[in-house]
Amino acid sequence: MRALKRFVRRFTAWMTHDDADERLRAEIEDHLTRQTEEYVLAGLGAVRADARLLISEKAGTRSFFLWGKLIMAAGRPGAWQRKPLLLLYVLFLLVLIVTVVPVSLTLQALLRPLLKGWLTKMTAHFERPSGDFRGART
């Protein structure tokens, strides 16, 4: 983003020194300034989020954050106090993957008509900034 802003400044300075048409210079400057305010990679379709897995992803991210805080509070890296917590966390993840994810997918399949708008918004959020150029899917 900084490089693009620096380019805008240099380009407009160059246009000012040259005898370019003032209206053209203003139009180019306006366009380049607008581009710096938007995402450079918008609409490329580089990210495709699967709506069925987003709820599990959010739950996993939240649990990772909480368990990470707990494990960090137990001691420094390599401390023996962390090892039982790490083992417990691995077991927690396995149980979560084997039980909660299938239940979540089943409930989503049953409730899809009711959750369609919410899942579409969540998919669009996770696909930002590049997003899926064909639009959000559920």
DSSP 8-class letter at 97: I
Residue 17 has pLDDT above 80, yes or no: no
Contacts of 2 (CB under 8 A, 6+ apart): none
> Could you report the per-residue pLDDT of 41-70, keeping only the tens digit for each?
666 677 788 888 888 888 888 989 999 999
pLDDT at 41: 60
Distance CA 79, CA 73 (A): 11
pLDDT at 60: 85
What's the rounded mean pLDDT across residues 23-45? 64
> Could you report the per-residue pLDDT of 82-121, keeping only the tens digit for each?
999 999 999 999 998 899 889 988 988 898 889 888 888 8
Q: Identity (one letter) of the amino acid at 66?
A: L
